[in-house]
């Protein structure tokens, strides 16, 4: 593994946006929690962390117990504390939200997580050996969650990661403002100390071969996430940067990342917002997001959209890119056309109608696209059934191939993919895998 990069320099444009809570803030905020019974925040959390319990423990100064409460439900509590869309989840459901300020659950969770991570306290240890081996493909949130839960149950786990750094999107795809690389890597190290073996630079299907995997392991879990942005299919597309790669560079080699003066980000999801934020923070004078539909249809969370507007980013709605203008290998502009929303089509979304004669040329010296993610080829290598390219699983996260389980973004055909959903998949899949291992002797 290459050396852990440290880009979270205090005072840098990309330093973590929210400072940690001070002890005073944490104790005061935790004392505000009503300690609801059967709390709606816990219901709203995809991993169902017992939130009032961990908050009460902060207020009593039982930080180890608080961290344990979080990690029992969510091994990636440190990441989730930072990246969860809490407005849509726990904090959005807080009973104090309607008339008062909801409890700052995310920041309190981070406070408890920081306590154990900064002191290198291992809350859990490997379970008594079950004598079973599981391969986990992909060391992103879902794979780490699954591997960690299995290790707790005494299963021997090997994580295969094709990149040279583990952590998946936590390491590569979440902007530093929200989650510094160090946090993601510290979480991986914690999973490793639980006993999970980590093999980086290993792409399953090439090395190791699929057959080896099936021969050497009692079960396989696939948590490979998704790939880069799909093609727009427009002239000059080769000059458009991939959004996730743009964010990755901002995290791992910010000094080398070239940011344009006038940047256009194609897309209006959360990744597009992150790209726009990075561009602004690293010096772009003007950043414009381009979206074919309207604010109503945009997939970014409302709070993210509100945030990026405050960063000084504008959005050009009802605009569709048609051609990249370039000269001597340099981007000059993006040619777009105006869109009118028509009747809903079979999928229920409004049809896009180009308005004749509405062509406009937006000057730009850098164009980034973040318009979703391609499916990765492993599903076919493993001969797994898919739905719209997403791996098909049953209620136990088992694929069409017995003994092969899958979870995370690569199975999420419906609903919004998020880290915390992936963590829950990994946790539930681990329990199902464990059950299978026990049942099959």
Residue 48 near another protein by CB under 8 A: yes
Site string for another protein, 412-441 (x = CB under 8 A): ---------x--x---x-------------
Alpha-carbon distance of 188 to 198, in angstroms, equals: 9
Q: Give the shortest CB-78-to-another protein separation in angstroms.
A: 20
Q: Does 96 bind another protein (CB under 8 A)?
A: yes
Binding mask 5-44 for another protein (x = CB under 8 A): -----------------------x--xx-xxxxxxxx-xx
Check binding of 227 to another protein (CB under 8 A): no
Q: Which three-class secondary structure state does DSSP give residue 219?
A: strand
**Residue 89: exposed, middle, or buried by beta-carbon count in 10 A (0-12, 13-18, 19+)?**
buried
User: Taking CB under 8 A as the rule, does residue 59 contact another protein?
Assistant: yes
Return the residue matching tokens 């869309």.
Answer: 85
Count Cα atoms within 13 angstroms, Cβ side, for 376. 19
Q: Which CB, 302 or 377, lies closer to another protein? A: 302
Q: How many chain residues touch another protein (CB under 8 A)?
A: 29
Does an H or E element contain 90, and which? helix 90-93
Q: 374-413 mask for another protein (x: CB under 8 A)?
A: ----------------------------------------
Map residue 220 onto helix, strand or coil: strand
Residue 37 beta carbon to another protein: minimum distance, rounded to whole angstroms:
4
Q: Using the minimum distance from each CB to another protein, give the nearer residue, 39 or 81.
A: 39
Which sign does the torsion angle of CA 107, 74, 252, 364 carry?
negative
Q: How many residues are recorded in the chain?
A: 441
Q: Tell me which of 87, 294, 358, 386 binds another protein, using CB under 8 A.
A: 87
User: Cβ 64 to another protein, closest distance in Å?
Assistant: 14
Could you tell me which residues are beta bridge partners of residue 353? 340
Strands 350-354, 360-363: pairing is unpaired
Q: List the beta bridge partners of residue 339.
A: 354
Cβ atoms of residues 109 and 70 within 8 Å: yes
Enumerate binding residues for another protein (CB under 8 A). 28, 31-32, 34-41, 43-46, 48, 59, 87-89, 92-93, 95-96, 98-99, 421, 424, 428
């Amino acid at each position: 593994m290459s050396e852990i990069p440290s880009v979270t320099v205090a005072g840098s444009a990309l330093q973590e946006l929210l400072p940690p809570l001070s002890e005073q803030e944490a104790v005061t905020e935790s004392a505000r929690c009503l300690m609801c019974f059967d709390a709606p925040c816990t219901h709203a959390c995809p991993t169902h962390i017992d939130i009032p319990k961990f908050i009460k423990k902060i207020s009593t100064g039982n930080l180890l117990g608080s961290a344990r409460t979080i990690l029992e439900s969510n091994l990636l509590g440190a990441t989730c504390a930072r990246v969860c869309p809490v407005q849509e989840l726990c904090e959005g459901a807080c009973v104090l939200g309607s008339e008062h300020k909801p409890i700052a659950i995310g920041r309190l969770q981070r406070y408890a997580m920081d306590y154990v991570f900064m002191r290198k306290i291992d809350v859990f240890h490997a379970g008594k050996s079950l004598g079973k081996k599981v391969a986990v493909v992909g060391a992103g949130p879902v794979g780490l969650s699954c591997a960690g839960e299995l290790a707790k149950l005494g299963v021997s786990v090997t994580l295969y990661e094709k990149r040279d750094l583990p952590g998946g999107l936590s390491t590569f795809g979440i902007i530093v403002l929200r989650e510094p690389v160090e946090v993601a890597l510290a979480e991986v190290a914690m999973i490793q100390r639980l006993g999970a073996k980590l093999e980086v630079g290993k792409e399953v299907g090439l090395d190791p071969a699929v057959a080896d995997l099936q021969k050497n392991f009692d079960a396989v879990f696939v948590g490979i996430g998704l790939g880069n942005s799909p093609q727009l299919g427009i002239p000059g597309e080769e000059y458009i940067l991939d959004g996730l790669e743009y964010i990755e560079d901002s995290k791992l080699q910010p000094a080398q990342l070239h940011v344009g003066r006038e940047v256009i980000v194609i897309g209006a999801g959360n990744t597009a917002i992150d790209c726009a934020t990075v561009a602004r923070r690293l010096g772009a004078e003007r950043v414009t997001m381009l979206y074919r539909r309207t604010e109503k249809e945009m997939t970014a969370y409302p709070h993210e959209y509100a945030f990026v507007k405050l960063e000084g980013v504008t959005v050009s709605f009802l605009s569709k890119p048609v051609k990249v203008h370039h000269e001597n290998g340099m981007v000059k502009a993006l040619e777009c056309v105006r869109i009118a929303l028509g009747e809903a089509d079979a999928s229920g979304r409004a049809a896009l109608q180009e308005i004749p004669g509405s062509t406009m040329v937006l000057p730009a010296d850098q164009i980034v696209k973040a318009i979703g993610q391609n499916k990765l080829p492993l599903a076919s290598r493993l001969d797994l059934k898919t739905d719209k390219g997403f791996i098909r699983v049953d209620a136990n996260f088992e694929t069409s191939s017995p003994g092969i389980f899958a979870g995370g973004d690569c199975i999420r055909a419906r609903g919004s993919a998020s880290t915390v959903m992936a963590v829950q998949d990994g946790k539930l899949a681990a329990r199902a895998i464990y059950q299978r291992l026990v049942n099959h002797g």
